[in-house]
Chain A
Amino acid sequence: GNSVTQMEGPVTLSEEAFLTINCTYTATGYPSLFWYVQYPGEGLQLLLKATKADDKGSNKGFEATYRKETTSFHLEKGSVQVSDSAVYFCALSDFTRNAGNMLTFGGGTRLMVKP
């Protein structure tokens, strides 16, 4: 079946450091890929998405490129801020079930940014 693997956290960085959170996937067909962010005590918010190979999703200084050859969708940001502290989830579309429109999530990576 489909699966998403992302690096375990927590990832601890100083403010203005470069961020990479790795995400790799296993899927049949051509899934869409997503990064979601969850701030403390909140639900998940869509951060960015890419719907086909070589697409780059970007938002709020975060970027991720859909790499079909390496089945990866790594999240990057050039200069993190304390306000970026959150849990980040990588996800893909899953159309293997009857209803389609499923999302498969990675386990989440907690990011802590220190001043």
Chain B
Amino acid sequence: DVKVTQSSRYLVKRTGEKVFLECVQDMDHENMFWYRQDPGLGLRLIYFSYDVKMKEKGDIPEGYSVSREKKERFSLILESASTNQTSMYLCASRGSVEAFFGQGTRLTVV
């Protein structure tokens, strides 16, 4: 059974903290994605990666960075967390057709 695993279901962080969200996939997919989901705004793409060490900005990259040192792992980094980054974060990986999603991380920045 294919799997995309996000390291945390729930996180609470303080403003200004550096936050790491981790995502691991076991399908040997080249493409991995980070989205955030907010009420009324749907899914918005933050960053994606099409290969190890390769990354491209999505629609809302400001305030975020990513790391892809190994094929199976794609990390989202909030350099200095702010309250407007409180959201649900979804990781996905994709081979040739459909994408597979992790269970999501609900991040609250206080």
Contacts and interface: CB of A to CB of B under 8 A. Distances in A.
A89 interface: yes
B94 A101 contact: yes
Contact of A51 (B50, B54, B97, B100): B97
Interface residues of B, number: 25
Chain B contact residues: over half helix, strand or loop, or mixed?
Answer: strand
B100 A89 contact: no
Contact of B42 (A101, A103, A106): A106
Contacts, number: 52
25 contacts: A32-B97, A43-B4, A43-B6, A43-B90, A43-B101, A43-B103, A43-B104, A44-B92, A46-B98, A46-B99, A49-B98, A89-B42, A89-B43, A98-B56, A99-B48, A101-B30, A101-B96, A103-B33, A103-B92, A103-B94, A103-B99, A105-B42, A107-B41, A107-B42, A108-B42
